[in-house]
Amino acid sequence: MKEKRIAESFILGALLCVGLIVSAYVIAEGFTRFKAYERTVKVKGLAEREVHADIAIWPITFSVTADELSFLVEALTEQNDSVRDFLLQKGFSEKEISVSPPSFTDRQAQGYGDASRYRFRYTGRSTVSVYSEDIERIRQARGNLSELGSKGIAIAGENYEARTEYLYTKLNEVKPAMIESATNNARAVAEKFAADSGSRLGKIKRASQGQFSITDRDSNTPHIKKVRVVSTLEYYLVD
């Protein structure tokens, strides 16, 4: 009876050992497969496109100086009318033209600097703006600003406040195609990496779309924009 129990215990222990060995093998094999499945490659895909601006904001800023404030106001009013007439002659509509309230400065009332060095006491500044979708008309009219100079209107240079701004507002129309292009570009890079490493490209593990950026193509052609997006994708590698 005692020998029978010993034999049964031995068989049970042997079975437990075999079970543990098999379990360890299965776990190890599964872990190995899991680690192999987790082999990934992360790549970036770039898409760029040149587009033309579809809206332009063109501020025309000019100034007048005088010793009499009433004369200054009258002169600015006349010059506002002259600039508006110039723009209407160039084909812009009344609804595309707006006039900002003028600003006046009394140089003698300023608490700094030497007012005596100025020839005139008052200076006034006004801005007539054009908001238009006709980009080419604005570019052509800007080239004829000398016509206003010949009428005694002192046009300010294109500093930060008075520069012409070109906008591209149709980003949603090009987004889908650009995202597809960036994704295809990323996949091509990933496939090359997989081939060089003796693997095949699997499914996408993770993907993120970068922000779209819109910049001037260059400083000489601000009406032509460069749209850019970078997508980041992570693929599984399969042996």
CATH at residue 181: 3.30.110.170
Average pLDDT in the 24-53 region? 70
pTM for this entry: 0.75
Q: Would residue 226 be called left, alpha or beta, if left means φ above 0 and alpha means ψ between -120 and 50 degrees?
A: beta
Domain range enclosing 30: 1-38
pLDDT score, position 184? 94
pLDDT score, position 116? 61
User: Quick one: 66 and 144 in the same domain?
Assistant: yes
User: Quick one: 60 and 158 in the same domain?
Assistant: yes
- Inform me whether the pLDDT recorded for 174 exceeds 80: yes
User: Quick one: 153 and 113 in the same domain?
Assistant: yes
Average pLDDT in the 140-151 region? 92
pLDDT score, position 26? 42
Q: Where does the pLDDT of residue 7 fall: very low under 50, low under 70, confident under 90, or very high at 90 and above?
A: low
Domain boundary among 145, 166, 187: 166
Q: DSSP string of 28-57?
A: HHHHHHHHHHT-EEEEEEEEEEEEE-SEEE
Domain boundary among 144, 166, 188: 166
Looking up residue 80, the CATH number of its domain turns out to be 3.30.70.2970
User: Quick one: 154 and 172 in the same domain?
Assistant: no
Q: Which residue has the higher pLDDT, 86 or 112?
A: 86
User: Quick one: 120 and 188 in the same domain?
Assistant: no
**Out of 30-34, 90-94, 97-101, least confident range:** 30-34
Query: Domain tally for the chain?
Result: 3
Nearest to 120 by CA among 80, 43, 64: 64
